Amino acid sequence: MSTTKTIKSALISVFSKDGLEPIVRKLHEQNVTFYSTGGTEEFIKNLGIPVVPVEDITSFPEILGGRVKTLHPKIFGGILNRQNNATDVQQMQEFDIPQIDLVIVDLYPFEKTVASGASEADIIEKIDIGGISLIRAAAKNFNDTVIVPSVNEYGLFLEMISEGNGATTLEQRRLLATKAFHTSSHYDAAIFNYFNTDETILKVSETNCQVLRYGENPHQKGFFFGDFDAIFTKLHGKELSYNNLLDVDAAVNLILEFKNDAPTFAILKHNNACGIATRNSMKEAYLDALAGDPTSAFGGVLIANGKIDVATANEINSLFCEVVIAPSFDEEAVTILQEKKNRIILTINNVPLPNRQVRTCLNGILVQDRNNITDNKEGLKNVTITTPTNQEIEDLIFASKICKNTKSNTIVLAKNGQLIAAGTGQTSRVDALRQAIEKANSFNFDLNGAVMASDAFFPFPDCVEIAKNAGITAVIQPGGSIKDELSINYCNENKVAMVFTGTRHFKH
């Protein structure tokens, strides 16, 4: 039997009619018989094209306010019958079941209804039953039946029947079946996630995919699954790479810590801040962020918590950087930054990030809640005789925000609202501190009066001793070691202020 099938009959039941007219007209030119229900039936009639109501086949009207229309053996028999199966052929004749060669469906917009904030009653009514059943039935029987499962496939299908004069190949039907099961599984996942309250069950379905140039390295394939355009508006530049996206993610998470602060500018490299400062103007913030490590800033990702003006753009323009992100830009500032044709310019929209984080691990995945705790003045506990000054408190909170968003083990040194240096991703916290001190010294920063933040507690007093000898006068850490008193005693003996937050901020 030929694997090429000519469409002679079609059942159409869709929510979205956008783009449906040329399909109906093309099929009508090829003498296809139409079956339909409700609004779709009316749509086809209004085109002046004959259409057979489904109830004429089933001898049963729509019931329950339209909840039951197509759920009938004569409909599903017409879709699911195997044309090379003698028993199926015999039963089709016995029960007077019409052959249905094509099914076109577009489901009720469940996700859009949820996103709109509609009432639960309205949401429940947007759970499609007949449509999802038609999709699965036609997709299962792709050997004989064509399925067009959503408005997204109207264009592809029109192209197929135009080129094939109303006929489809087995490969085309299998392709459409694949898209059908993608549509149905995503739809079911959305419904499940709406109802689900069990945190031990995870269903993820993402329909938006961007094929990247490659992954972390050129020999690795890379893909981004997500709605990038919901978070950003791209104003200029080349396509983002896998590594760009990781840095952009780190930059966004970091700058959110400073969302309501004075002008703050950060420069990131390999997911860690190499410079960040809070100042009275964005230009000053950028210049002092750059001063934190002008070497690492080369090729980095830049992000601001407020508008980038012309003065700031002129300063940025002399630096080679991959990405510049801000909530807004002066029009002239964009023109200046566009002088580098590959530089990516993004405005960030006020869109909440997911509350759960997912990553692969071994032969499975790890899921955790987002670290939504930001240390603040009210949560600090003074544990030493010497208490931090107001300026030191400001710097301690500033350093803590950076520390939270830096790879562990980490130590962050800050002074006067500026990142002086950070030790990142070290196997020892002592090594992280020494790295930070060495880096600060290499850029001629004066550590006298600087503060230190740690992502976790100090099991021994070695870190506070090294910090004191470098000139650091105040320390912020979570506390919680059975040997906290050793660090506290050292600070008391050497007039170093130390505060506990009670919150660890590991980042692996």
Active site amino acids: 140, 270
Give the closest residue to 456 by CA, choosing from 487, 492, 494. 487
What are the two backbone dihedrals, phi and then psi, of residue 87, each rounded to the nearest 5 degrees?
A: -65, -45
CA distance 41 to 36: 5
Give the closest residue to 345 by CA, choosing from 329, 325, 328. 325
CA distance 171 to 149: 16
Q: Are 263 and 306 in contact (CB under 8 A)?
A: yes
- Other residues' Cβ atoms within 10 Å of the Cβ of residue 84: 9
Left (φ > 0), alpha (ψ -120 to 50) or beta: where does 265 sit? beta
Instruction: Give SS3 for 395.
Output: helix
Residue type, 244: N
Give the closest residue to 439 by CA, choosing from 320, 296, 326, 324. 296
Residue type, 19: G
Residue type, 2: S
Name the token pair of 406: 């830096």
What are the two backbone dihedrals, phi and then psi, of residue 184, each rounded to the nearest 5 degrees?
A: -70, -40
b or e along 397-433 (b: 16 or more beta carbons within 10 Å of the residue's beta carbon)?
A: bbbbbbbbbbbbbbbbbbbbbbbbbbbbbbeebbebb
What are the two backbone dihedrals, phi and then psi, of residue 346, each rounded to the nearest 5 degrees?
A: -130, 135
Q: What is the CA radius of gyration of the chain?
A: 31
CA torsion through residues 309, 310, 315, 317, sign: positive
CA distance 410 to 394: 20
Give the closest residue to 92 by CA, choosing from 144, 55, 131. 144
- Other residues' Cβ atoms within 10 Å of the Cβ of residue 59: 8
Give the closest residue to 106 by CA, choosing from 186, 16, 188, 39. 16
